[in-house]
Amino acid sequence: MSPPHVLIAPSILSADFGHLAAEVQAVESAGADWIHVDVMDGRFVPNITLGPVIVRAVRAATRLPIDVHLMIVEPERYVAEFAEAGADRITVHVEASPHLHRTVQQIRAAGALPGVTLNPHTSEEALRHILPDVDLVLVMSVNPGFGGQRFIPGALDKLRALRRMIDATGRDIALEVDGGIAPATAPDVIAAGARVLVAGSAVFGAARPGDTHEARVDSYARAIRALRSTADGAA
């Protein structure tokens, strides 16, 4: 059996924000498939990160698809602005969206592909009636808010259940996983059905302060290859 096709989405949360455009260009040169952008508001999650102005800067720096993960309350107020700034995919939390179906329609009407995501304690059943309307499902394998956390193994059962639910729809819905993804955890999440791996520290943590741009590209390329090659073992 041939190995599954796996996409790698480096999370810029772990990038050097003083050189953000160069960092995004470096992971693009290193073979990344998507750029993952974590938006945090200090309310839905304890951390605060960035808004549409940074998405616009990332858009100017790369041709790769931009995958925006909104960890914010009332995401419906902002989805159009993120789409306009250049987001290709916009993912909102079930826990932050009482009118999830309407928010998903708003994302699509704004010109982006809608995604939905679950905190570690939220059951996959919360997605059953929204799956026909989305293009992406993101399983959080850490409590959202910070990079560099330890992978929560309970995410594997959830990935397996969602793989079955997605396959039953007959639609091409990306199954993405985020949090603690590294060469040690990637084989299990791929075997459980994930096809898009978000990785922050496992990619950007591969560079050393003071590295040249070329050295960064080399380090990121090795890190991305190490993640991607774990798919071979999961076939």
Ligand X SMILES: O=C(CO)[C@@H](O)[C@H](O)COP(=O)(O)O
Q: How far is the CB of 2 from ligand X (least distance, A)?
A: 27
* Closer Cβ to ligand X, 40 or 162, answer by number: 40
Give the residue ranges of the annotated binding site for substrate: 11, 69, 145-148, 178-180, 200-201
Rounded least distance, CB 50 to ligand X, Å: 12
Please say which residue, 112 or 142, places its beta carbon nearer to ligand X: 142
157 is known as an active-site residue = no
CB 137 within 8 A of CB 176: yes
Task: Give me the catalytic one of 33, 67, 178, 188.
Answer: 178
Number of H helices, E strands in the chain: 8, 8
Residue placing its CB nearer to ligand X in the complex, 134 or 181: 181
Catalytic entry in 33, 38, 67, 135: 38
Binding residues: 11, 36, 38, 69, 145-148, 178-180, 200-201
Coil vs helix vs strand at 48 = strand
d(CA 42, CA 71): 9
Helices within the chain (DSSP H only): 20-29, 52-61, 79-85, 100-109, 155-169, 186-191, 201-204, 213-233
Minimum CB separation of residue 150 from ligand X in Å reads 8
Residue with the shortest CB distance to ligand X: 200
C-beta separation of 148 from 195 below 8 A = no
* Torsion region of 114: left, alpha or beta (phi above 0 gives left; psi -120 to 50 gives alpha): beta
In the chain, helix, strand, coil percent, each to 5? Answer: 45, 20, 40
Binding site for ligand X (CB under 6 A): 11, 13-14, 36, 38, 69, 142, 144-149, 178-181, 198-202
The verdict on whether 33 is a catalytic residue reads no
Angstrom distance (rounded) from CA 170 to CA 164: 10
Query: Least separation, in Å, of the C-beta of 201 and ligand X?
Result: 3
Q: Annotated binding site for a divalent metal cation, which residues?
A: 36, 38, 69, 178
How does DSSP classify residue 41?
B
Nearer to ligand X, 105 or 149 (CB): 149
* Residues labelled as active-site residues: 38, 178
